[in-house]
Structure 1
Amino acid sequence: MAATNSSNANSGDSREIPDLDLCFCDLRVVERYCWFEENAGRKKVVCPKGWKGCAYSRWIEPPHEERSVAVIQKVLKELNDNKIRHSLQVSRIHGKDAKKIRHMKAMIQAVHTDDDDSGEE
């Protein structure tokens, strides 16, 4: 009986080897987490080339319960809100820095212009 199992395992038929999952491109699939809507946090296997490949996708986890989905969506919303807030702060800082830099450039140009004018006399 053990010989039968080993011959099946070595038969070369990938359908008989559950951990060898290939996409339609004949490449070994990779695990990814979904972060969209009701499937947020759910694991699936996909083509390693992503959408540039065959777009193969298969869920490897069952759907989450409603409460889990609600919690994950709330956390994702907070993360996105924090990213937006951070981006706004960075743009404000860069805006202030840009204003300072323009002012300094104007002062440097004024000094160079004064130097050029004094050298002509």
Structure 2
Amino acid sequence: MWIRIVVSVAVLISAVIHLEQWFLVFRDTAVIGPAMLANFAGGIVIGILLLVWHHWLPLVLAVLFGASTLGAFLISATVGLFGVHEHWSIWEVFVAAIVEVVAIIGGLAGLLATRRQVARR
């Protein structure tokens, strides 16, 4: 259960950072702005699902959420994404990257633990 809590907190932190960045920077940016809001909404839903639905699917969603969000940022920081060329310059970027890695690794660890529990039954 503790893995789900850690992954949920990581996903929720990422979601809140994306909402904050939408308000501060990307509110009027064509593609990235709506993507930031979708990321916020999806992160909130996934974070809650991890805590209330003890099924493997929220763990998979957390892994995909972390991988897609981190992947989009890395693309934006290297070659640019939809006209946005991000930089590793503010603390929110570092925190978001860390919690997205936690979501990926924690989600995978949770899936492995779930698989072991099912195998023991």
TM-score by length of 2: 0.33
Bigger fraction of residues in helix: 2
State the structure with more CA Rg. 1
Bigger fraction of residues in strand: 1
TM-score by length of 1: 0.33
| Structure with the larger RCO, 1 or 2 (CA within 8 Å, 6+ apart) | 2
